[in-house]
A and B are shown apart, each in its own frame.
Chain A
């Protein structure tokens, strides 16, 4: 057995923990669940895989070659922040009747939210998790929706394209047509009339050390959100306060949950591209980019985009990054209490970039621009000229202007410096990504660590800052905008003529059977798409490693001990978008 493993994976550490590795396939190592923690500890401490990027599960019910004995598979993507390069994939196979395994939260604290997500969707129990509760769905939800045998209300068919909803030109209600009716099922013994919703969960309170002279006082619990101006959407923080100091915080999300991943499994491969726009609706181009990268890995030669398309993708992705950081910096100032002025000044640039998107993609925010093996529409010389005008003549001046007014502003400094401290070790352990990670001094950028597309051709710096606080995050974002401008200048100078699509545009995508993880450095961090294909027209599994969701791991450790006013600033500096967080 172990010979085969060494052959397929070529990894020397497969034998390090006896009995840990039970099998391997072309995508990853299959680990015995009893040895998982030990093996992960070994990988983290001795092999340098210190970063748990993505944790998810797949339900292989009815998949070719699978039995109920290995119906569920929990998939871990581990990377190294020091060595960079390709990571390692661990898989744990679980039987249908006993879906439980040890939690990895003690090895990788960043597994916290992701394990809760898997529990919520698959009912897989992580033993030893400190608060294994549902996170997106409410506590009264019946069933585990990502399981293949779970059918949603108004379920019609397994896959799109659905049969006509207008047979002979008449509209039919789905529940009249399908044998399941409206498919609204209640748990046994549950009655909607007598149901009392569960009490809101109280945050775990971190008591200050009991020293002499410390007066024992009552805590008050304040609900910040879901209707709150500074939660950037419908996010909720349950905050326990000692005076104005935060002693406990519990993030609650799921108010915008729509089970994006389940819908993604129903969709066709191509139909998911516009659907990714709705994730992080501020940076739809990056979302497209990540998804097409993942799927192209499974497409062989036909998935190789031509040169011009690669350049266009990079240009769009970097413009998106500028857009997003402009927005983020502006609204960070808003969270600090500046009355919209900085935000409106930054949004001005964003509008100009959105004009460019509108000109090329037809939509300002939901761009739906990239396709497998290329991009949807070509740009003309006039567009390129407009883009050059903005990139070469305008953006840098604007960033300078922002820096003039903001970077050394006295109030900004007092509010931001030293607030929301996140040490580099914690940032890695908590799976923080993007500007959050780099503002803690960890130079990890997917564009450098595992160069995708044509990023290896450009000269740019990975912006880091050793401040580890909100101010450092602000400065990293400003710095990244400058680097994006640098990349854009090179890309706009070098962009070649040529086709924008590999082959003819097609509605049906032929995707080989297999698994792929495609990650881009999105504006908010590592945006990964993990797709499993059974060779059909629809994804078997479509998982999103959402950076703003996983960055929320850091929220609780960062806010404890700060004032209530800091909590909104810290949250603002994480830069979450609820469309992506809640999915």
Chain B
């Protein structure tokens, strides 16, 4: 019983956190972009523009709900939700902080310790693709159709190198143990030798690129390419429905950063985040947030400075460069793991 109650409470808190995080991520992005572009950025709503996200939200919510005549209504309305929910749900397996033990009761700062967490993430993020494809398809518009088609091929292509790198990471969890693990909670709790960290960081750029593609961020934002497809799959969406897509993109950025922080940078680990102390969870959560913010900075930095590559070049890059590289990485990892075995 208690596990149900705590899970519900934790889920609600997490959703609240993520939505606030999304709101302030837009603020963070706009501020950063404006700094990159020698501008000032939002500074009118509230002190230093801090209420800007609130103003945006109010505006999006109170916009008229327009459903165009020529769309497939059910799918059209379903698609934004289908895009947002996987982005939220994927966060369930990310450990946010070390456990807190109060008497007999242990409070765990993750919603589910699934033993196939990495598979779960791969599966869930693939579902998110449906939201975009269906949205583009049901809009019954040439631009959105092109956007949807691009999404389909882009997502399928980039999940391949991402999956392969994840397999390599899973392999390294074998080192020094009898069995490896797929659970993020256990991966975070494992001790890794220093050379293994270095080896993992070698794969980080590749993984980061696939995450950029996975969350449709520049320079891989081909489904929405403002400059040619205007807004791509979301062209027929306005008001809160558009905001849902927007949310999905940003929350999947946060989720992606959290997963990267967990896999490559030790998650909540950091000085003073000692498990078993009363302050451990707070400091640990702080470390995780800090890591996420730094990774988000990377996303935005890339967006501010890179032109976009073309759709066919994107696929060429994926199939001709990224996939072979990740396979090579996997093979080398397998050799290392085999050599390191006792």
Q: Which chain A residue has the least Cβ–Cβ distance from B141? A: A222
Which residues does chain B contribute within 8 Å of A97, judged by CB atoms?
none
B268 interfacial contact with A, CB 8 Å: no
Q: How far is the CA of A563 from the CA of B38 in the complex (A)?
A: 33
11 more A-B residue pairs beyond the given contacts A222-B143, A412-B307, with a C-beta to C-beta distance below 8 A: A220-B142, A241-B146, A334-B227, A336-B308, A337-B218, A337-B306, A341-B33, A344-B38, A564-B146, A567-B228, A568-B228
Which residues does chain B contribute within 8 Å of A221, judged by CB atoms?
142
Q: How far is the CA of A55 from the CA of B184 in the complex (A)?
A: 72
A348 interfacial contact with B, CB 8 Å: yes
Q: What is the interface size of chain B, counting residues whose CB is below 8 A from a CB of the partner?
A: 29
Q: How far is the CA of A409 from the CA of B306 in the complex (A)?
A: 9
B window 290-330: CB within 8 A of A: 303-313
Which residues does chain B contribute within 8 Å of A339, judged by CB atoms?
33, 218, 303-304
Q: Which chain A residue has the least Cβ–Cβ distance from B142? A: A222
Which of B226, B227, B307, B312: most chain A Cβ within 10 A? B307
Interface pairs (25), CB distance under 8 Å: A220-B142, A222-B142, A222-B146, A228-B230, A229-B230, A230-B228, A244-B146, A333-B307, A337-B219, A337-B225, A337-B226, A337-B227, A339-B303, A341-B33, A341-B304, A344-B38, A345-B38, A411-B306, A411-B307, A411-B308, A563-B311, A563-B312, A564-B228, A565-B228, A565-B311
Q: How far is the CA of A411 from the CA of B307 in the complex (A)?
A: 6
Q: How far is the CA of A250 from the CA of B116 in the complex (A)?
A: 54
Q: Is the CB of B38 within 8 A of A338?
A: no
Q: Is the CB of A344 within 8 A of B39?
A: yes
Known: A244-B311, A333-B307, A335-B227. A411 touches B219 (CB 8 A): yes
Instruction: Say which size band chain A's interface belongs to.
Output: 20 to 34
Q: Is the CB of B37 within 8 A of A340?
A: yes
Which residues does chain B contribute within 8 Å of A415, judged by CB atoms?
307-310, 313
Q: How far is the CA of A228 from the CA of B37 in the complex (A)?
A: 23
Which residues does chain B contribute within 8 Å of A340, judged by CB atoms?
33, 37
Chain B residues near A (Cβ < 8 Å): 33, 36-39, 142-143, 145-146, 218-219, 221, 225-230, 303-313
A408 interfacial contact with B, CB 8 Å: no
Q: Which chain A residue has the least Cβ–Cβ distance from B38? A: A344
Q: How far is the CA of A361 from the CA of B305 in the complex (A)?
A: 36
A414 interfacial contact with B, CB 8 Å: yes
A566 interfacial contact with B, CB 8 Å: yes
Which residues does chain A contribute within 8 Å of B146, judged by CB atoms?
222, 241, 244, 564
Q: How far is the CA of A338 from the CA of B307 in the complex (A)?
A: 4
Q: How far is the CA of A340 from the CA of B308 in the complex (A)?
A: 12
A window 404-446: CB within 8 A of B: 409, 411-412, 414-415
Q: Mark A206-249, 1 if CB is under 8 A from B, else 0.
A: 00000000000000111110001110000000000100100000
Known: A411-B219, A568-B227. A338 touches B308 (CB 8 A): yes
Which residues does chain B contribute within 8 Å of A228, judged by CB atoms?
230
Nearest CB of chain A from residue B241's CB, rounded to whole Å: 20
Q: Which chain A residue has the least Cβ–Cβ distance from B221? A: A337
Q: Is the CB of B37 within 8 A of A341?
A: yes
Nearest CB of chain A from residue B123's CB, rounded to whole Å: 29
Closest A-B pairs by Cβ, 5 of them: A337-B308, A336-B307, A338-B307, A344-B37, A230-B227
Q: Which chain A residue has the least Cβ–Cβ distance from B226? A: A229
Which residues does chain A contribute within 8 Å of B230, judged by CB atoms?
228-229
Q: Mark A335-355, 1 if CB is under 8 A from B, else 0.
A: 111111100110010000000
Q: Which chain A residue has the least Cβ–Cβ distance from B229? A: A564
Which residues does chain B contribute within 8 Å of A566, judged by CB atoms?
310
Q: Which chain B residue has the least Cβ–Cβ distance from A343? A: B37
Which residues does chain A contribute within 8 Å of B311, judged by CB atoms?
244, 563, 565
Which residues does chain A contribute within 8 Å of B227, judged by CB atoms?
229-230, 334-337, 565, 568
Q: How far is the CA of A348 from the CA of B39 in the complex (A)?
A: 11
Q: Which chain A residue has the least Cβ–Cβ distance from B39? A: A344
Q: Is the CB of A341 within 8 A of B36?
A: yes
Which residues does chain B contribute within 8 Å of A230, judged by CB atoms?
227-228
Q: How far is the CA of A224 from the CA of B312 in the complex (A)?
A: 20
Known: A339-B303, A345-B38. A563 touches B33 (CB 8 A): no
Which of A335, A336, A567: most chain B Cβ within 10 A? A336
Known: A567-B228, A568-B227. A409 touches B39 (CB 8 A): no
